[in-house]
Amino acid sequence: MRADLAASYGEERLPRYTSYPTAPHFSPEIGAGACARWLAELPAAASASLYLHVPFCREMCWYCGCHTQIVRRDGLIAAYLRTLRSEIAQVSETIGRRIKVEHIHFGGGTPTIMAPEAFAELMAAMRQSFFVLPSAEIAVEIDPRTLTSDMVEAMRLSGVNRASLGVQSFDPVVQRAINRVQSFEQTASVVDMLQHAGIKGINFDLIYGLPHQTVASCLDTVRRSLELGPDRFSVFGYAHVPAFKKHQRMINEAVLPDGLARHDQACAIANALKEAGYVQIGLDHFARPGDSMAVAFEQRTLRRNFQGYTTDQGEVLLGFGASAIGHLPQGYVQNEVQIGAYAQSIAAGHLATAKGYGLTDDDRLRADIIERIMCEFSADLGDICARHGAEAGAMLKSASRLKPLISDGVVKLDGARIAVAKDSRFLVRSVAAAFDAHLDPAKQLHSRAV
């Protein structure tokens, strides 16, 4: 990474653009009433994806940026799952029909913390309230340290066909520094169980920029991960935001890699995965050739949502559980973050929506531009603006942050088409931010650009 680019852009705090506008702009003005209206207005032909948030873990990983809490008593989990099933029925009733479902994603926390029979009951509740297509992708995030063979069997019987395993790093020094000690053998055993159960779609999550992490330790993690043959990798930069996630204060900032070191680690991981035959997809995903995500990337149909890059083409994402975010044609909705407040809302018989955002025509236009930049490292502003009844010239004129990126060689402008230079793709978030009309540089709410 050029030192001048690192100095100019590397320390910026920017969104990952899994939505536009991003969650900090959600407002309590959009509440349960608005959400109910939006659900009732869904087109008859609409299909949906479901996201279920399970906000519990057995212990806290100090790098974690998710909404989760530590539980020792399974009774709390069981009570939460009862509320989750009630919310599923409530949303379906509000829609007024069994809407088709093409994707289901269990996130957390640790979704597999629940009892196997509870997982089966939850899947049954979804199939009762929604028409889950036989071809639906059903994905579960997994902590390999706690997964049991009984849960794998419950997943198999429930139709799960994709698993996302948190690996982060196999370096024991790094693992101790982030309070997540997880052996290679544990991970290999889980991969073996999943594959024998017929759950073939396996994704590994890796993180760079962790305490004590080096290029050498990153490459060793990649080498060992490749032995297990996942068909996808998600590679994220650690976001150190202790002001918002207090448990991150347990991490010693003095041993965190700086921006240049983070960039070197990201490049080393990317190069190693590409040399192993994986296709680099967008900012931080890699997939085997022929994988559905690689095909979507090649065909320019890749999308981006709150789980990152996705093959999901739907315009409706229904979020269930505390803090879960949904995306409807009219805008975004987010449930109560605190589990108690979430449960009280559902028990009272109304939706748990605490805040949201109603999209404007300008938001939809900019969201399309930002999504194409994030997914393809380029955007044809003429085509996109024409579809939205806008002028590309006016959009370029409003993107004042784009000018220095062009002069620095990060962005190439050809008429109304912009493209991120190949050697500057690590700054794709900086390019996307040029079209973010809501971005306030004074508010350091996001992770570093590099």
Write the CATH number for 369: 1.10.10.920
For residues 115 and 234, membership in a common domain is answered with yes
- Alpha helix (H) residue ranges in 229-338: 259-275, 292-298
- Alpha helix (H) residue ranges in 148-289: 149-157, 172-177, 184-196, 215-226, 259-275
Do the beta carbons of residue 213 and residue 265 sit within 8 Å? yes
Q: Is residue 353 part of a domain?
A: no
Q: What is the pLDDT of residue 442?
A: 62
For residues 165 and 305, membership in a common domain is answered with yes
**35-78 pLDDT tens trace:** 999 999 999 999 999 999 999 999 999 999 999 999 989 999 99
For residues 97 and 128, membership in a common domain is answered with yes
Q: What is the pLDDT of residue 328?
A: 98
For residues 301 and 447, membership in a common domain is answered with no
For residues 245 and 102, membership in a common domain is answered with yes
**pLDDT band at residue 399 using 50, 70 and 90 as cut-offs:** very high
For residues 285 and 151, membership in a common domain is answered with yes
Residue 6 has pLDDT above 90, yes or no: no
Residue 450 has pLDDT above 60, yes or no: no
Cα gap 214→127, rounded to integer Å: 46
**140-160 pLDDT tens trace:** 999 999 999 999 999 999 999
Residue 445 has pLDDT above 60, yes or no: no
**222-279 pLDDT tens trace:** 999 999 999 999 999 999 989 889 999 999 999 999 988 998 999 999 999 999 999 9
Four-CA torsion 359, 426, 67, 53, nearest 10 degrees = 70
Domain extent for 294: 21-320
Helix (H) or strand (E) segment spanning residue 53: strand 47-54
For residues 183 and 201, membership in a common domain is answered with yes
Q: Is residue 413 part of a domain?
A: yes
Q: Is residue 366 part of a domain?
A: yes
Higher pLDDT, 185 or 423: 185
**325-380 pLDDT tens trace:** 999 999 999 999 999 999 999 999 999 999 999 999 999 999 999 999 999 999 99
- Alpha helix (H) residue ranges in 336-441: 339-347, 361-376, 381-387, 392-398, 402-407, 428-433
**92-134 pLDDT tens trace:** 999 999 999 999 999 999 999 999 999 999 999 999 999 999 9
Q: Is residue 25 part of a domain?
A: yes
The percentage of residues in the chain with a pLDDT greater than 70, rounded to a whole number, is: 97
The percentage of residues in the chain with a pLDDT greater than 90, rounded to a whole number, is: 88
Residue 213 has pLDDT above 80, yes or no: yes
φ/ψ (deg, to 5) at 20: -150, 125
**273-307 pLDDT tens trace:** 999 999 999 989 999 999 999 999 999 999 999 98
For residues 380 and 281, membership in a common domain is answered with no
Type of residue numbered 202: I
Q: Is residue 337 part of a domain?
A: no
- What's the total number of domains in the chain? 2
**Is pTM beyond 0.85 here?**
yes
- Alpha helix (H) residue ranges in 24-115: 32-40, 74-95
Residue 449 has pLDDT above 60, yes or no: no
Q: Is residue 334 part of a domain?
A: no
**pLDDT band at residue 17 using 50, 70 and 90 as cut-offs:** very high
| Degrees, nearest 5: CA angle 265-270-273 | 125
Q: What is the pLDDT of residue 12?
A: 82
**The domain boundary residue, chosen from 320, 344, 369:** 320
Cα gap 94→34, rounded to integer Å: 12
Q: Is residue 354 part of a domain?
A: no
Q: Is residue 228 part of a domain?
A: yes
Residue 418 has pLDDT above 80, yes or no: yes
Write the CATH number for 294: 3.80.30.20
**pLDDT band at residue 446 using 50, 70 and 90 as cut-offs:** low
For residues 8 and 121, membership in a common domain is answered with no
For residues 244 and 382, membership in a common domain is answered with no
Cα gap 146→165, rounded to integer Å: 11
**The domain boundary residue, chosen from 296, 320, 344:** 320
| Degrees, nearest 5: CA angle 368-370-372 | 70
For residues 413 and 430, membership in a common domain is answered with yes
**The domain boundary residue, chosen from 305, 320, 335:** 320
| Mean residue pLDDT across the chain | 94
For residues 258 and 225, membership in a common domain is answered with yes
